[in-house]
Structures are given as C-alpha cells and as structure tokens.
Amino acid sequence: MRGLVSRFRTLPLRSRLALLVATAVAVAVAAVSVACWLLTRAQLHDELDTSLQNTSAPPSAVQQALATCGARESRSTKGSGFAYVQIVGPTGNRCVAPDSQPVKVQQPDIDVALLTRHDTLHDSTTDRGDLVRVHTTVVDIGPQPVAVSVSRPLEEIDSALNRLALVLTVLAGIGVLGAGAAGLWVARTGLQPVDRLTGAVEHVARTEDLTVRIPVEGEDEIARLSRSFNSMTAALASSRDRQAQLIADAGHELRTPLTSLRTNIELLARSEETGRALPPGDRAALLASVTAQMTELAALIGDLQELSRPDAVGPGPLQVIALHEIVAAALERARLRGPELTIAAELEPWYVRAEPAALERALVNVLDNAVKFSPPGGTIEVSLRGGELAVRDHGPGIPADELPHVFERFWRSPSARALPGSGLGLSIVARTVQQAGGEIALGPAADGGTRAVIRLPGAATPPPSGI
C-alpha cells in the first residue's frame, strides 16, 4: 500500500487529478450499477412471485397429473411448458403433469398437502438441477382438496439480469474512460494558470527579469496566486532598483571625498619624493583637509551602514529612555559644532521606548542641520512638550517645491551642495523615528527659517519598573 501511495505521489499533478476523478467516477458508477442490478433483481422476483400467485393450474393439467400418479416418474416429460405443474402428496410423493419438469418437494409443500398451511412460495430445483420458483397451494378438485405446485424456471430472470449486468459493465467502463479523459482535460485546463506561473518563475530564475507579469483573470485562488506573484516581482524589482540607486548614489558621494583625499595625499607624497618641502602653512592646511575628508568619509560610510540595514531587522533592543536627557546630550554636541550660535532649550520630561544610540544620532542630525543653516550669531530654539520635540532655526528656509524630497536618500538642496554632508541625515532621522512609532515633519517657520517637529509616543513619567 505504501508503495502505491509513493508511486501516486510521484505522478504529475494533472495525472493525479485525472486518476482521482476517474477513481471517484468509477466508485460512483459501480455503486449505482450494483444498486440498479439489485433493485432490478428484486423487482423481477417480485413480479415473478405476483405472477405465480395470480396463476392457477389449468384443471386439465391437474387431471393429467392425477392420471400419472400410478406411473413411474422416470418416464416423465420433456418440460417445454410455460410452467411446471405437479401434485404433492402428504408423504412427499408427487404427480407430474405432462410437459412439466419434476420439481423437488420440500417441507413447505408437504405442509400444504397436510392442510397445515394454505400456500407457500419458495425456491427449489428440478431433478436435472434447474432453479425454479415454486408456488404451492390447496386446490379443490374431486372428492377432496389436493396440493398443487406451479413452478416457473428462474432462468428467464437470470438471463435478463446477466444481460443487464453486461450492459452496466460496458456503460461503467465507458463512463470511467470518459471520466478519466474529462478529468485530464479539466486538469489541463484548470492548471493552465499554474503552468503560466511556473513558466514565469522559471523565466525569472533563468534571466532574473523581474518585469514579468502574469495576467489576472477572475477572483479565484489562481487569480490570488497570480496577484501575489505580480506583487512579489514588483516588490523585488523595486528593491533591486533602490539597491542599484543606493550603490550609484553612494559611489557618486564617495567619489568626491576620495578624489580630494587622493589629491592631497599625492601632493604630500610628491613633496617627499622631490625633496621640496611644502611651506608649513600649506602643509598644515593640507593635513587639515585630509583629516576633514577622512572624517566626512567615515561619516558617510557610517550613514551607508545604517541605511543598508534591512527594516525587518529593526534598530536593536528597545528600552524605556528619557527623551529629555537624550535631547540634552544632543544639544551639548550641537553647541560644540556651533559655538557662535545661541541655542535656547525648554525641555519637559518625556519617556519613550526606543533604541538609545539610534535615537540620539537622529536628534544630533536634526540639530546639525539647524546649526549648518543658521546664520552666524543666530538662534536655535528647541522645545520638548508633551512628546513633541520642535527644533527651529532662523536660516534661509526650504523652498516649498523641495519639501517633498527632504527625507529622500542622498537628496541635497541646490543651495546646500557646497556645504559638508552626504544627504543621508534626514533619511536616517525619518527611519529612526518611524521605527520608534513616531512621526517627523519639516516645514517653514512662521517668520522665516525652518521648523522640524518630531512626535514620539510615551509618557511624562517613567514606568514603575524604572528606566
């Protein structure tokens, strides 16, 4: 049995479907055929019994049977009549009418002859072994009633049942073959969308062409599978495009500091090779430029590593932290970057669940932008109230047509291309805030400058377990 199951599982899906359909139809046809045969058999037997009960032996046949009672049974007749007639005696003896086959007497027949029962209906056989249906009843003839048996051969029923069985078998075979063919056709037709999907998957695996789309028809499971496949290929294509764009943008951004770094190092190396020392001032400026380019390159690489981390991985283990303390630490770093600026801060306690290092880096990026675009001697206003952190500078502001792009990777305003930066800071900020369950908005301030607003869910008091 296990071998058959294993071989069945190795068959193609359409062959298995066709085989299952053929098997189901075969079982159904077999059940219907057997039921039909049994019902027909029962009906024919009932009709035969009714015919025997409604048929009385001809008086002439009874008289002829009585006339043979003294003769030997061996000289009996050919048995070519429609029914066999014989008289049964109380001792089990029998008197067979001419043109009748002698039928074996059974106990119910003797009971009728003894007048202990009125009639009986049962199966019996002739002396030569033919099956017959026997009806024995009491008939008043002559001085006393006698038991007369009227029998009909069952061959007429059996031949009809055999012909019916043959017809049902032929029809069942045709039905099974037709069901198998229909099942194979249905399987092929129903699996055409699966074949298209298989072909598309094989094409993608072979060519890595993610532009393949499968036509969607209807609302069934196959249509859902096709839509899912199209969505998957579209998502993969978009991911690959973003990856390619990230690599291209990263290469473009890395080229500038690397070119400047290589130029400065080549100047230093040429100075050492030729023995012509650079003036101390130029050498110091050159080394300072190398240091700045290396710092910018390291920051860019760090930003790329942060952005290359999949969103599904998450920022790391989250913990309850004091947002006002993180903002205060970021403010200290911002004051070091812009010592000539005035940073006014009003911070109310607020506790959030986030990853401390990532959140602090995001806040530092926001404050760095404010420092970068503030005019010399300007003021930066920072406030934290009810989970809303607002950072406002008094710089030139951001044009309205550039606001939709500020959170895109490597996007930089034309006015800021001369300033240091990679264009990744705000993209990292938006990602970090979203992972913490918050939101960020950037827009123009009421009287000039830019106002960044970060909203993070939390509470004004720490949870009972502490920070």
Residue 416 reports pLDDT greater than 60: no
Pairing state of beta strands 458-459 and 94-96? unpaired
Please report the domains of the chain, with CATH numbers, ordered by start residue: 57-153 (3.30.450), 221-308 (1.10.287), 319-459 (3.30.565.10)
According to DSSP, the residues that pair with 440 across neighbouring strands are 454
Pairing state of beta strands 351-354 and 342-347? unpaired
No. of helices (H) and no. of strands (E), the chain: 11, 13
Residue 339 reports pLDDT greater than 70: yes
What percent of the chain shows pLDDT beyond 70?
A: 83
According to DSSP, the residues that pair with 94 across neighbouring strands are 88
Give the C-alpha separation, 282 to 279, whole Å. Answer: 5
Give the C-alpha separation, 377 to 285, whole Å. Answer: 26
Query: What was the pLDDT predicted at 74?
Result: 40
Q: DSSP 3-state assignment of 339?
A: coil
Q: Tokens 């970090």 label which residue?
A: 432
Give the C-alpha separation, 101 to 128, whole Å. Answer: 9
Lowest mean pLDDT among 38-42, 268-272, 377-381: 268-272
Give the C-alpha separation, 34 to 30, whole Å. Answer: 6
Secondary element (H or E) of residue 385: strand 379-385
Residue 354 reports pLDDT greater than 80: yes
pLDDT tens profile 287-332: 887 787 777 677 667 666 666 665 544 555 778 889 899 999 888 8
**Using an 8 Å Cβ cutoff, are 406 and 426 in contact?**
yes
Pairing state of beta strands 379-385 and 342-347? parallel
Q: DSSP 3-state assignment of 362?
A: helix
Give the C-alpha separation, 406 to 17, whole Å. Answer: 57
Give the C-alpha separation, 285 to 273, whole Å. Answer: 20
Higher confidence at residue 106 or residue 261?
106
Higher confidence at residue 305 or residue 219?
219
Higher confidence at residue 424 or residue 460?
460
Return the biggest CA–CA distance within the chain.
163
Whose CA is closest to 168, among 42, 40, 44, 46? 40
Query: What was the pLDDT predicted at 313?
Result: 44
According to DSSP, the residues that pair with 347 across neighbouring strands are 384
CA 229 and chain centroid, separation: 12
Q: What's the rounded mean pLDDT across residues 13-34? A: 80
Give the C-alpha separation, 146 to 167, whole Å. Answer: 45
The contacts of residue 351 (CB under 8 Å, 6+ apart) are 320, 321, 322, 323, 458, 459, 460, 461, 462, 463, 467
Q: Tokens 């020392």 label which residue?
A: 277
The contacts of residue 424 (CB under 8 Å, 6+ apart) are 300, 303, 304, 306, 307, 409, 410
Residue 8 reports pLDDT greater than 80: no
Helices 280-308 and 221-274: crossing angle in degrees, nearest 10, is 170
**Using an 8 Å Cβ cutoff, are 363 and 321 in contact?**
no
The pTM of the full predicted model, rounded to 2 decimals, is: 0.44
Residue 335 reports pLDDT greater than 60: yes
- For residue 326, give Cα distances in angstroms to 302, 331, 332, 359, 386: 20, 9, 10, 8, 15
Query: What was the pLDDT predicted at 383?
Result: 92
Q: What's the rounded mean pLDDT across residues 101-124? A: 89
Tokens standing for residue 112: 């009728």
Phi, psi of 448 (to 5 degrees): 105, 155
Rg (Cα) of the chain, in Å, rounded? Answer: 52
Give the C-alpha separation, 383 to 348, whole Å. Answer: 8
Q: DSSP 3-state assignment of 467?
A: coil
Q: What's the rounded mean pLDDT across residues 351-369? A: 85
pLDDT tens profile 31-90: 888 899 999 989 988 888 888 888 777 777 777 777 777 554 444 444 445 688 888 888
Lowest mean pLDDT among 8-22, 289-303, 415-429: 415-429
Give the C-alpha separation, 54 to 197, whole Å. Answer: 72
Give the C-alpha separation, 420 to 269, whole Å. Answer: 26
CA angle 178, 184, 188 (to 5 degrees): 145
- Which amino acid, residue 206? R
103: left (phi over 0), alpha (psi -120 to 50) or beta: beta
